[in-house]
Each structure stands twice: as structure tokens, then as C-alpha cells.
Structure 1
Amino acid sequence: MKIIVDRTKCTGLGICESLAPDVFEINDDGELVLKTEAVPDGQLADVESAVSGCPTEALRLEQD
């Protein structure tokens, strides 16, 4: 699975970071940084929670 970010929608709220900190990070400028584009083994549930919890719908998952 690949993580797709719509940067025009992302507002840097950090909900994704709180739900999947091994994958998402909000930098000092308030911008989302993906630590990896591919969902790491054992992290799918956390990443799915982050995607569904994004209030701006800036995240989605795509099959490789």
C-alpha cells in the first residue's frame, strides 16, 4: 500500500502524526512529512486510522 497526500488539502493539524507517528510527522513549518510512502509492515491499522481521521481528507491509500 502506498500513502498519497493531497498537499492542497493538508493543513498540518497533526492528527495523522498522533495516530501513526512512525509514518507521519508535522515539521517545524507545520507541513506534513511522510517518513515513508509505503505502509510499513504492522502499521496498516494505524495508517488507516490516520487516513480516516484526517478532517480535511488529505490522505488516502492506494494499492501498489
Structure 2
Amino acid sequence: MAMTRTLRVDRVACTGRGLCAELLPELIDLDEWGYPVLENSTVPDRLRGHARRAVAACPRLALHTDEV
């Protein structure tokens, strides 16, 4: 059975710095205040490495990946 990786944002921890959207613009947009908006939380295989890098770079540890 194949695992699907999804992104999740901890809205309480996030301070809207926007680094995640810079590193993963294919999946993350920013709202008018600079907070991330996930149009689709499923991470395609081709972007898994970029998603891991964005999660690791989050200064507030507010971005997470989950396997479903």
C-alpha cells in the first residue's frame, strides 16, 4: 500500500514569515497577512524533497508533513 504525504500548518505556532511559500510555491500560497494557505495538502512524489526542506526550514516549526 502506497503512503500519501500531506502538509499541515500549525496556525498557532505560525508567525507568517513566509519562508515556506518561498521554498514550496507549488503548494503554498500566502494570504494578505503573510500566513500560508494550502490549496491542496497532498504532496506529489516529485515535490517530497522540497516539502521536507520547507518543513526543516520553518523557523517556528509550524509546518509538518504527515503520512496517510
**TM-score normalised according to structure 1 size:** 0.90
**Structure 2: runs of 5+ lacking an equivalent:** none
Describe the SS at the equivalent of 2:65.
strand
Structure showing the higher strand proportion among its residues: 2
TM-score, with length taken from structure 2: 0.85
Sequence identity, in percent?
34
Q: 1:17 aligns with which of 17, 21, 46?
A: 21
Q: Answer with 1 or 2: which has the greater Rg.
A: 2
Cα root mean square deviation, aligned: 1.0
Match of 1:31 among 31, 35, 57: 35
**Alignment check: 8 A CA contact 2:7 2:43 kept:** yes
Aligned length: 64
Structure 1 runs of 4+ aligned residues shifted over 4 Å read none
Aligned residue type for 1:29: W
